[in-house]
Structure 1
């Protein structure tokens, strides 16, 4: 009984004392922000036909659908082109800012609003990866995904260095300004009744806005550290819970896909991969598709291999080495799908979701390589003292709820 109590207390302490998986959360943030940004930039010439006033899915049809399913979209607040252009620009801007990790708490909310607004405006636009992006944009709001590999982490490290030297850190003006502007926007939307439909997303926006205000007040006005510690514990619990949900969602996607494939006769006889290679819509490189489909043994191995990997992956999480092998196989498969079938954004979304399972040691080495490559490109590295380490790989500054 004492051993059980000890294990339970250790588990509770682990969940509440720190935000687990900071590198995994960062790479998921970067992956989905890059996927959405590249998609918006590629479809910029066609934005009006996809999501805007010229869409075949008209403004009235979108209003009727959202009235039934209560889906959130800010684009139904007005049918003017100017309003749509502003919303599209903000969606691009939020994806770029989330990619570099600037004010990740605020930009993750704006990123979620942009994704949901555009996708729920025209529900028939997408290739499967949009569903993953739809879900992950909501989960990212609850993560502390700016602890590493972000401008937030750099700002926090500089403030910590200044405090260690006894210097006074520069006052934060951008954070209160973002909080005030977002509060005005939320208040105007509530008073005019244009909250985008449904209650969940507005409730999350208001709760996060209030939490950011409490965080600032606890850090600046509280006489004791207990309020800040309590908010830090709540933020850690939300982060760890959201990261667990992201992992569970990825496992559920692969498990359901694999078990549904098993029931298909084409997957059972090993010929399922052959058919999409000969569809015009999925053949950007017909010669390459013909080359791959000409070998019947290769088609059979890829067909069976896909089913085996997808069904087995959730069970391999209990074995790190096997999990890493299957993870590399799935990422490679999605990269091949991006090239051979012409589905780059679907593949990028799935690779970003898979990245949550990447080992921390690999991600830290990857961060070190990126930091050294950045230093070589940006500036010539000066002489290094014996034992001195390059920055960027192992820094894990703690970032507050308002970051």
Structure 2
């Protein structure tokens, strides 16, 4: 029973809060950067001027059991509202403002845009869609967020932690969800969104009334377990991405003979810098090393995570590889998604140093006494599983 109690106590703690916060910031920044970059072409890609007509999109969405709020109205102003609302949601998520609500709004925005035209993107949109689902189940605003700063200030001033703005946001989203529930035909997405809304309502109610102390403790433990499970699923998803990519390369004849990288660097669609690609493939020894090194790193990635020194060195190598891919192959958003996904495995000690350095830099640039992104220190015991 002692071991079982220890296991339950361990599972009821929020682990890897800094990794979740960094993942939230990175995901919001990537989405905002992509939407701003495509802003001049937004109507051609996802709006009323898109060659991919709404009826064709609706057919694919129905077959894949997806949804897109963009198809609820074909008007220009509705599209503009959704597109710019997605930008606002991404920025608010990055800043950590009311993350319980903004993470769900961000999820709806990402799924809507990606489902409107599934044939756009470079696989980074697929990773964004999957990770946005997982992020909605995490406590991504525990540190490095405006929410954390607000809670820390309330504790210093000995004020109740009742969040009026969060409750108002929750009520507004409930009214909106009630209005648009008919827009999710033959899918379970309406039930999922209603479950999110109901869970947040129970959370706010338990923190509003004094008699909800036991309920708060139970909800806190359940939320921590859900957060830990979501973080574990994110880690498994990254391992699956690398593992499947590596094993598929192993089965290919070009990668077996060590020339796969040569042909990858000479694809017309992925060659923004022909001179740079030619320089990298000029030496056959470099081609062999890049080809075999890529395969070995991807196949070995899931198996080396348990070894601290090897894991940290491998993470650095993978991030450098994705930076090179972003420049040489011209797919920056896919590379950015993989880099921020790799960051989930970074040790907590490194992230604490990174946060302290960013806090000092922010105070130096703004002259502020308190850094809003500094957040609060997690309770003792948090993040032990992520260190190293």
Aligned to 1:388: none
Structure 1 stretches lacking a partner, 5+ long:
383-390, 399-403
Can you list the C-alpha shifts for 1:109-134, whole angstroms capped at 9, x where unaligned?
Answer: 01100100000110101101111111
Q: Is the 8 A contact 1:218 1:227 kept in 2?
A: yes
1:52-131 aligned at under 5 Å gives the runs 52-131=47-126
Q: CA deviation at 1:380?
A: 7.4
Name which of 292, 295, 298 aligns with 1:304. 292
CA distance in 2, matches of 1:20, 1:356: 12
Does structure 2 retain, via aligned residues, the 8 Å contact 1:267–1:303?
A: yes
1:183 aligns with 2:174: yes
**In 2, distance between residues paired with 1:344 and 1:143?**
26
| Closer/same/farther in 2, CA of residues 114 and 301 from structure 1, 3 Å limit | same
> Which residue pairs with 1:366 in the alignment?
354
The Cα offsets for residues 235-290 of structure 1, whole Å up to 9 and x where unpaired, read as 11110110000000000111011000000011011111111222222122221111
Residue from 104, 107, 129 that aligns with 1:134: 129
Does the 8 A contact of 1:142 with 1:238 survive in 2?
A: yes
Match of 1:332 among 307, 310, 320: 320
Q: Distance in 1 between matches of 2:173 and 2:368?
A: 41
Equivalent in 293, 315, 333 of residue 345 of structure 1:
333
In the alignment, the residues of structure 2 paired with residue 162 and residue 173 of structure 1 have an alpha-carbon distance, to the nearest angstrom, of 17
Corresponding position of 2:183:
194
Q: Rate the CA distance shift 1:393–1:92 in 2: closer, same or farther, 3 A.
A: closer
TM-score (norm 2): 0.94
Cα 1:209–1:381 shift into 2, 3 Å:
closer
CA offsets per residue over residues 199-254 of structure 1, 9 Å max, x none? 33322211111111111111112425101111111111110110000000000111
CA distance in 2 between counterparts of 1:80 and 1:392 reads: 42
- The answer as to whether partners of 1:255 and 1:311 remain within 8 angstroms in 2 is yes
The equivalent of 1:7 in structure 2 is 3
Contact 1:153 1:396 in 2 (8 A): no
8 Å CA contact 1:28, 1:353 repeated in 2? yes
- Structure 1 residues 130 and 36, CA, compared in 2 at 3 Å: closer, same or farther? same
- Check 1:224–1:57 CA distance in 2 against 1; reply closer, same or farther (3 A cut): closer
Rounded to whole Å, the distance in 1 between the matches of 2:142 and 2:379 is 6
In the TM superposition, what is the alpha-carbon distance from 1:393 to its structure 2 partner?
Answer: 8.1
Q: Does 2:220 align with 1:247?
A: no
Given the superposition, is the C-alpha separation of residues 393 and 98 from structure 1 closer, same or farther in structure 2, using an over 3 Å criterion?
closer
Q: Which residue of 2 aligns with 1:385?
A: none
Contact 2:152 2:375 in 1 (8 A): no
In 1, Cα distance between the equivalents of 2:331 and 2:366? 33
| Alignment root-mean-square deviation, CA | 1.8
Taking the aligned partners of 1:145 and 1:226, their CA distance within structure 2 comes to 24
In structure 2, the gaps of 5 or more residues are: 381-388
Distance 2:2 2:153 in 1: 38
Structure 1 pair 87–397 and aligned structure 2 pair: CA distance change class (3 A): farther
Q: Partners of 2:285 and 2:52 in 1: how far apart? A: 44
Q: Alignment partner for residue 395 of structure 1, among 364, 370, 377?
A: 377
Q: Which of 273, 276, 281 in structure 2 is aligned with 1:293? A: 281
Map Cα deviations across residues 136-165 of structure 1 (whole Å, 9 max, x no partner).
Answer: 0000000000011110110011011111xx
TM-score by length of 1: 0.90
User: For residues 300 and 8 of structure 1, what CA distance do their matches in structure 2 show?
Assistant: 51
Distance verdict in 2 for CA 1:334–1:325, change over 3 Å: same
Q: 1:188 to 1:303 in 2, by over 3 A?
A: same
Aligned to 1:386: none
Match of 1:147 among 132, 142, 150: 142
Q: Deviations over 1:8-39 (max 9, x none)?
A: 332221111x2110001011111111111111
Q: Displacement, 1:308? A: 0.3
Inter-CA distance 284–370: structure 2 relative to 1 (3 Å threshold): same
